[in-house]
Structure 1
Amino acid sequence: MSTGQHYVTVRPATGEDLDDLQALARRTIDACYRAFLGDEAVDWFIGSGASDAHVRNHLERGGVHCLVNQEGRIIGFSILDGPTIDLMMVDPDHHRRGLGRLLLQHAEAALLAQHSTIRLESFAENAAANSFYEACGWLHGNRLTDQGPVKIEYIKNGTGG
C-alpha cells in the first residue's frame, strides 16, 4: 500500500512483535487519550500494565495485524476480535498521513469477508476518532454507558456472511 511518499504493508503480528506493539500502545495512549480520559485514568491504564496485558492477551489469541513501514518498523496495529475492531492505533508521529485509513480498510475487509455486520467502539469524548470513523462510512450506533467512560458503538454493513 502506498500513501504518497510512504510505502506500508499490513501483516499478521507474531510473538516477536509484542514489545513493539505494547510500546506503541503506551505512546499512543499517553499522547492521545489524556484530553478526553484525563491524566489519572491514562496514568493508571499505562502504569498498571492493563494496556500491555490487553495487547499481549490478544496477540496470544491471534487477530492482531501490524502496519509496517518500508524500514520494517511497526507504526500501527489493529486488533480484530470476532466481528469487532477491538483496537486500532497509529503511532502519533505518523498521524494525518492516511495510514489510519489504510489500516481501517484492511481491518474492514478482513472482518467483512466473514461477517455481514462489523462493529467498533470509540470513546464518546474522542472527537478526532469519531469524526474519522464517520468520514470512513461508519454509522453511529448505541451509546454504551455500562462501565467506565461513555463509548459510542459504530457499525458497518457489508456483503460477508
Structure 2
Amino acid sequence: MSTEQHLPVIRPATGADLDDLQVLARRTIDARYRAFLGDEAVDRFIGSGASDAHVKNHLEAGGVRCLSLEGRIIGFSILDGSTIDLMMIDPDHHRRGLGRLLLGHAEETLLTRYTTIRLESFADNTSANSFYEACGWRHGDRLEGEGPTKVEYVKTARSD
C-alpha cells in the first residue's frame, strides 16, 4: 500500500456521500454537543431530522467538501457564500490536525473569492471556539436569537 493512501484527501461531496455525511453529522452532534446544549436539545435536534436535512440541502447546492482518510469520510465542511456554515470531524479523529487541515482548505477556498469570511459557533462550545481562535479567527459579534447563543468569528485576507 502506498503512503498516499494514508494521507487525508479533501474533495467535493457527491450524492453517493449523503448517507455517510448525515451519519457523521449525527454522530458528531451526539458526541460533542451534549456538554453545552444538553441531552434534551441534542436528542430533539437529531430526532427532528434537521441535521440530515441541512446536510442534504447543502449537498444538493454543491457546497459540501469531504475529508477522507483511507477511503472513509472522517470530516466535512459546508461552505455557503462567504461563510463556513458547518465543519465537523469524526470524534474518533479529533486532535490529530485534521480539523486544522479542513479549516485551512475552507479558508483558502473562500479567501480567493471574498476579503472577509465568517463562521458561527455556539457561545458555550469552548473547545471549538478555542480552536478557531488558535487558527487566527477573530471573535466578532455575539448573536442572540432563538435557541442557544452563538458567536461570530471573522477572518480577513492578508494584503501582503
After TM superposition, give the deviation of residue 13 of structure 1 in Å: 0.2
Q: State the match for 1:122 in structure 2.
A: 121
Q: How many residues align?
A: 154
> What percent of counterpart residues are identical?
76
1:36-75 to 2 correspondences below 5 Å: 36-69=36-69, 71-75=70-74
Q: Report the aligned-residue RMSD.
A: 1.0
After TM superposition, give the deviation of residue 159 of structure 1 in Å: 5.0
Q: State the match for 1:3 in structure 2.
A: none
**Separation in 2 of the partners of 1:87 and 1:117?**
17
What is the CA deviation profile of residues 46-92 of structure 1, one whole-angstrom value per residue up to 9, with x for unaligned ones?
111011000000000011000000x2000000000000000000000
**3-state SS of the aligned residue for 2:36?**
helix
Q: State the match for 2:75 in structure 1.
A: 76
Rate the CA distance shift 1:159–1:113 in 2: closer, same or farther, 3 A.
Answer: farther
The AA in structure 2 aligned to 1:147 is: E
Q: Is the 8 A contact 1:112 1:159 kept in 2?
A: no
Q: State the match for 1:16 in structure 2.
A: 16
What is the CA deviation profile of residues 101-136 of structure 1, one whole-angstrom value per residue up to 9, with x for unaligned ones?
000000000000100000000000000000000000
After TM superposition, give the deviation of residue 147 of structure 1 in Å: 1.8
Where in structure 1 do 4 or more consecutive aligned residues deviate above 4 Å?
Answer: none
The TM-score with structure 2 as length reference comes to 0.94
Q: Is the 8 A contact 1:143 1:152 kept in 2?
A: yes
**3-state SS of the aligned residue for 1:146?**
coil
The TM-score with structure 1 as length reference comes to 0.94
The AA in structure 1 aligned to 2:24 is: L
**Separation in 2 of the partners of 1:147 and 1:108?**
28
What is the CA deviation profile of residues 5-40 of structure 1, one whole-angstrom value per residue up to 9, with x for unaligned ones?
x51010000000000000000000000000000001
Unmatched tracts of structure 2, length 5 or more = 1-5
